Amino acid sequence: IHELGQWALETVCRQAALWGSGPDSRIAVNLSSAEFLHPDFPERVLAVLERTGVSGKAIRLEITEATVVSDVEFAASRMETLMAHGIEFSADDFGTGYSSLTYLRGLPFSEVKIDRSYAARLPTDAQDVAIVQAIMALCQTLGLRIVAEGVETSQQQEILRQLGCNELQGYLFAKPMPAEALMLWAMNDDGPS
């Protein structure tokens, strides 16, 4: 996984260098637990940034609760080291773990991604609507950006917007695509709004 993770980060950084970056644009990279916990992880990330000439402000690293739950202080220290270079962290798949509130409180995240399992049952499941509302209220109080994952229907989009979630991700907007196709899609009227 370490070689694959290194290749993915390097590829993303090279693409970021080609695109350039605006003040509010970052490319997100999912990390495995093994990558994040590797002894040389912070140094590896910084070396990739240096090799590719990309600012840390162009990257957001996504980690799940399972990655950090065993040692919050260790995770916080690693995150802070990389944040000093402009990198942001996102709490991915939020709401699926048993101690989400503890790690959200103890780690320097800038963004929370509400797990796709909640969007999948919107707007028909009243319990999931209530859970999404609670997650959003908590994140807003903590000053965290909120992204709802797995949005596939216009009904899901509408209820999430009504609940106040303006950053959405899912097949309703686009499926995975090569970088060249993404640029064409983004410039098209059907691009992100």
| Residue whose C-alpha is closest to residue 116's, from 94, 146, 99, 138 | 94
Distance separating alpha carbons of residues 29 and 71, to the nearest angstrom: 22
The confidence score (pLDDT) of residue 1 equals: 83
Assign 55 to helix, strand or coil: coil
Average pLDDT, the chain: 88
Please say if the pLDDT value at position 129 is more than 60. yes
Assign 30 to helix, strand or coil: strand
Distance separating alpha carbons of residues 147 and 65, to the nearest angstrom: 16
The arithmetic mean of pLDDT across residues 26-50, rounded, is: 93
The confidence score (pLDDT) of residue 182 equals: 87
Q: Which of 100-104, 117-121, 130-134, 171-175 has the lowest average pLDDT?
A: 100-104
Please say if the pLDDT value at position 193 is more than 50. no
The confidence score (pLDDT) of residue 56 equals: 95
